[in-house]
Structure 1
């Protein structure tokens, strides 16, 4: 037999809670059969459900009592799933200690062929491997199973259509939960309390399949990241056409990035965490003090020609900095709706004088009226911080 353990669940569906794990050749009384599931009584008196295809009734083995033993837990009906975290490690077996054989990005579609103790065996790109089941969003769950989206930031926009320009019908609070009825591109269609349908962007929520604080990315775990929120205090930075202050946007973006990096296991230090002035020398000194594995400087741009727009990554040293800038900018290009101006050489003090790997990002033009409005939204901050996190994971891989 290929596997020797079977999950016992609280209800007869694959996304229900695992309450126990039983071993090969164990026997348990059968209480009820329902569809493709069997309810059993465990030794401690608990009752639970196992998939009938994973066990063998003792009467099928020439026994008279109504009990069962475990069988090979291979899923005969393959299921489709989608990667629900920014970076997911695929391992050679169902263990955190198993070798990593590949990495998959958010929204990558896989086929689930097997399940074992909180792990899925998957087919992807002609290969086979194992991933944590909590990081996969099931696309064709069993009838009656329901996925939920969990709001993780206050004032998250719930919209009438799956676009960032559609009508906001609700501002949800951190911790609110909504059933998911469908997925459309990078949006979830959800059901509100009054029964109406609405949409929330996938990049600003978690689902019930995901674990926020224990992602299997790991590539930023224990890395030291210094986040440099540009300007501050009497140095406002550029001022947008509608009066937006660069120093406020850089701090808001930096704080959101700080939270995401800490959730992913990184050691994070800020050059400033409030509206005060920090000299360029001090910013670099913080990078040196903490021996930063990456120094990320966040800015927003301006130009005399108000038609100029887009985001840009800058590096100083080709050897030390360019890969960091390029890996992050590549992810920003995927997540941001703004045009990319590429990865360019920049003779900036915080790059030039920095002994640690460093990159500076201009995340949009406040001198462009429409772009100023875009980069001031929570949606945009969510997108670019998610992109920076993914880019750092790529860089450390």
Structure 2
């Protein structure tokens, strides 16, 4: 109890509440052409938002707690619009026609209006408009709001100016989860982090590891290492465990409060506190979350998740992707940069365990993590060389 209290006080000192009152006044769907639709969301004052694409035909926009006065009426390629109110976030899910492939672009033209450009194409014919990304188009919608598609610029950052902190979980007296055959989480994740660091350093990035040997580093010390290094990205690497041996798969978390009991149980283990205390911690997290960091971390989680799965799945066909979730991890709250926590696989599942102890798998997932981080940087960073 004393440990949890100290950590909570630490979090309060680090952050301040920035809860916003927000109203969604309208959602309009405008058909621009046979393959283009525009979704126009009008708020009273949209400061921050999160965009997560869950599959080709499903994505959501997440905001601070939001009062929705809009008529959630689908149209054209949007088959359904679903509102989900979480304790600390409002999500608007858009379910699209599954018969098409989609290119989705977002632009926030002011504090009141978010534009979602939806370009569809079927598999039997190509639409030249889906590949004309090198030009800028401006189209006037029915609501007289310009739809702007801007060209994608190549990254201009210098890797040597980017610091990435890799955090292999546990270590020393803290073995983490112990799996089949005595395989220890602390050893697996250290190997993965070392392989990942090697790849990133070869590409010119500065990499700091919270530990590079079998030593115990307290959670708050890990946060301090990241912040002292002025980290641009923070990645905490773990292996999952369950009393149910059938539980399997990879999962990536970014920081947020949650009502999901599964996510809370995982956070309780990694935070080293009883599950009973997570309710209190959850409430505190709600008032402490930096919304801009949350948005960036969600995008980072998506890029890394897609990268790991696309690289590892062909070689490891039994790999299950459990997707992206959110939970109140201490080690993510304290860092001052986009941060994610990766549960690589379940060390207690027979197949996952065989993957985790395989050096080739460790190197494969390390490559997936590294390329996912680079993908995120390529699309978000613009630093003069």
TM-score (norm 1): 0.45
Q: Which has the higher helix share?
A: 2
Q: Which has the higher strand share?
A: 1
Higher relative contact order (CA 8 A, sep 6+): 2
Structure showing greater Rg: 1
